[in-house]
Structure formats: C-alpha cells, structure tokens
Amino acid sequence: MADLFTPPWWASNPHIQTILPFVFKVAKPDTFRQRQELDDGDFIDLDWLGNPQNGEPILVIVHGLEGNVESHYARRMLIEAKKAKLCAVVHHHRGCSGEPNRLARSYHSGDINDLAFTLQQLKQYYPDSELYAVGYSLGGNVLAKYQGTLKNNSLLSKAVVISAPLTLSACAKKLEHGFSKVYQSHLIKRLQKKMLGKVNNVDLVDQMPIGKEDLKKLTTFYLFDDQVTAPLHGFDGVDDYYDRASGLKLLKHITKPTLIIHAQDDPFMTDAVIPTKDELSTAVEYELHTKGGHVGFIKGGWPWKPQFYIEKRVLDFIFSQSNNPN
C-alpha cells in the first residue's frame, strides 16, 4: 500500500511530530457537558459539540492517557467535525474531566465497560443515529478491544484507532529507554498526582493499594501498573494486566469496519504493536506509516501553524461507502 501520509521536511523527526501538536494547540469549539451516573456510584462526563438529534450521526471521541476534551487531537477533531456538521461527543475516562472520580478505582487500557455504557446510553436516546468512534493512544486500545470483544454486538457502525499501544508490555519497556523516558516521566507525574489525591482522601485511603511514600518510587509505567493499576482493577499483577488489556489479539475478531493507524517511528511503541495479516479480520483496514510520531501526523504548513493528516482521514473513512463489508 502506498503511504498516504508524508511529513514535511521540518517535521520528519518523531519527537517533533509528537510534541509540536501539543505546543501549538488550536482553539476548541464550544462544548457543553453531560454527566452520566454509573451503577457503581461513580460518574462519566461527556462533552458535546452540537445538539444531538435522533437520526443524525454521532462521532464519539475517546481520549488517551490523562487526556480530555482539551487534548490537542480532541480539539482538532471537534473543529473538523463542526466543519462537517457532524455532532461529536468526547467520552472522558473516569477522573479525566477536571474533577476526581469518586471511587478508588480509576480507568485503564483494557476497560471497555465505561465506553460500552456510554454507547448504550447514546443508542437508547438516539436509536436511529449511526454511531462512530475515534480512539487515540490508550483510548484507541480501549476502542480496538471493544470492537474485538463485542464483535457483531458492537454499537458502532465504524471505528478509527490511532496510535494505539496494542501490546502494552512492549510499549512500557520502550518508554524506559532513550528520549521516550521524557514522555514516561511527564505522564507518570500526572498519574502520581492523581493517585496522591486519593491516598490523601480519608474516604479512599484504606482502599488504596499503596501509601504516599511508596507512590513516589513508582517512576516507570511497569512499576506503576504493577503496584497501582493492576491491584486497583482486579488484575493479578502487571503481566496479567498487560496480557488481558492489550488489544492486538482481538483484532481478528472485529466484524464492524475499523481503521487502525500506526506510525513506525512512534516513540511510545515498538514493532510489537504491528499486527500481521493473520491477526487482522477482513473488517479491519490497517495503515502503517513510516513516520508520524505518536498521535502526530503533521502533513504540512509550518511549525507555528501545522496541518494534519488524521482528522480528514477519520472523516473520509467514516463517510466512505467502500469500506463497509456488508
């Protein structure tokens, strides 16, 4: 397959592709918030672009680790959805919408239940609307896992998975080396701060698997996931979590049209995330680009005003008739 994406000369470096979009964020369109109460006493926040009407399509945006509606990729997708007159909604993972979630548990790379709940709610209130979804990084792995687990019962007509860590163990190891450690350090500090808030909460401290001093020592994803993520969410250690939460082995079970996009130079990943032909179902279209970084894919413009590949590709895939196997 010919490479559909080619970066400009000034953005051929994977770290420029990864960092520059974060630095030069576009303005976000106006959104309004809807809170969903969950059966376990927690909540999920949805941020809506436009007023949904039954019968009109809805695009669900699933953000990455510690992301939210303000993330650079979510902002750009909302802008392009608005131009296309497509109603869109950002599904926030627990505790990511600016307010701590109520329970000791949080969210993780393999948790499809909260996304499933959101989609079920959308289908209940908008039964005649086509539902689409785009997931980024951790959110992409969640989306791929949802598609592969639900198969024909997926409520999505189409899905797009971008820069997903489909093999979590390999990605965790990658982030312990070279410049990738910078990304790990940034994200770990945010996770530690969030968990510290729960450790300091008198209503939650007894349910936390780790204390304040030990939390500071968890400087890698492997350690954090072993000591916090796994025990908080019912896994038997980090290796069990990585094995059961990774989306790669479920790609062959996907039955609804799904586009997966990776960059081979992604500083968060290794070739272990790249599926073989035998690991893909006929419903999956796979794009592997030589360059693009992590959720970057700058295709042109200038460093202070970059242009991007992903958003148009998402909309082209959603609205195309050729990629529907039915």
What's the CATH number where 161 sits?
A: 3.40.50.1820
Domain limit, last residue, from 191, 213, 245: 245
Instruction: Tell me: do 156 and 296 sit in the same domain.
Output: yes
Assigned token pair, 101: 């979630």
Mean pLDDT for 138-146 is: 98
Confidence at residue 324, expressed as pLDDT on a 0 to 100 scale: 45
Provide the pLDDT confidence category of residue 58 given band limits of 50, 70 and 90. Answer: very high
Confidence at residue 297, expressed as pLDDT on a 0 to 100 scale: 98
Domain limit, last residue, from 220, 245, 270: 245
Confidence at residue 325, expressed as pLDDT on a 0 to 100 scale: 44
Q: What is the pLDDT of residues 158-207, one digit of tens each?
A: 999 999 999 999 999 999 999 999 999 999 999 999 999 999 999 999 99
Instruction: Tell me: do 130 and 182 sit in the same domain.
Output: no
Provide the pLDDT confidence category of residue 125 given band limits of 50, 70 and 90. Answer: very high
% of residues, the chain, pLDDT over 90: 95
Which of 36, 41, 168 has the alpha carbon at shortest distance from 104?
A: 41
Instruction: Tell me: do 223 and 148 sit in the same domain.
Output: no
Instruction: Tell me: do 214 and 255 sit in the same domain.
Output: no
pTM recorded for the entire structure: 0.96
Instruction: Tell me: do 20 and 32 sit in the same domain.
Output: yes
Provide the pLDDT confidence category of residue 4 given band limits of 50, 70 and 90. Answer: confident
Exactly one of 129, 137, 154, 246 is catalytic; name it: 137
Mean pLDDT for 120-127 is: 98
Q: Please check whether residue 204 lies inside any domain of the structure.
A: yes
List CB contacts of 72: < 8 A, sequence separation 6 or more: 21, 22, 25, 26
pLDDT above 50 for 2: no
Instruction: Tell me: do 136 and 216 sit in the same domain.
Output: no
Instruction: Tell me: do 285 and 181 sit in the same domain.
Output: no
Q: Please check whether residue 265 lies inside any domain of the structure.
A: yes
pLDDT above 70 for 1: no
pLDDT above 80 for 3: no
Angle between helices 113-125 and 138-150 (to 10 degrees): 70
Q: What is the pLDDT of residues 223-237, one digit of tens each?
A: 999 999 999 999 999
Exactly one of 72, 262, 289, 294 is catalytic; name it: 294
Print the domain residue range for 216.
169-245
Average pLDDT, the chain: 95
Instruction: Tell me: do 117 and 221 sit in the same domain.
Output: no
Please tell me the total count of domains within the chain. 2
Confidence at residue 321, expressed as pLDDT on a 0 to 100 scale: 76
Residue 229 gets which letter from DSSP?
A: I
pLDDT above 60 for 104: yes
Confidence at residue 323, expressed as pLDDT on a 0 to 100 scale: 53
Q: Please check whether residue 95 lies inside any domain of the structure.
A: yes
Instruction: Tell me: do 130 and 96 sit in the same domain.
Output: yes
Domain limit, last residue, from 212, 245, 278: 245
Exactly one of 47, 108, 266, 289 is catalytic; name it: 266
Annotated active-site residue 137? The verdict is yes
Contact criterion met (CB below 8 Å) for 131 and 53: no
Instruction: Tell me: do 34 and 160 sit in the same domain.
Output: yes
- The rounded distance, in Å, linking the Cα atoms of 64 and 185 is 16
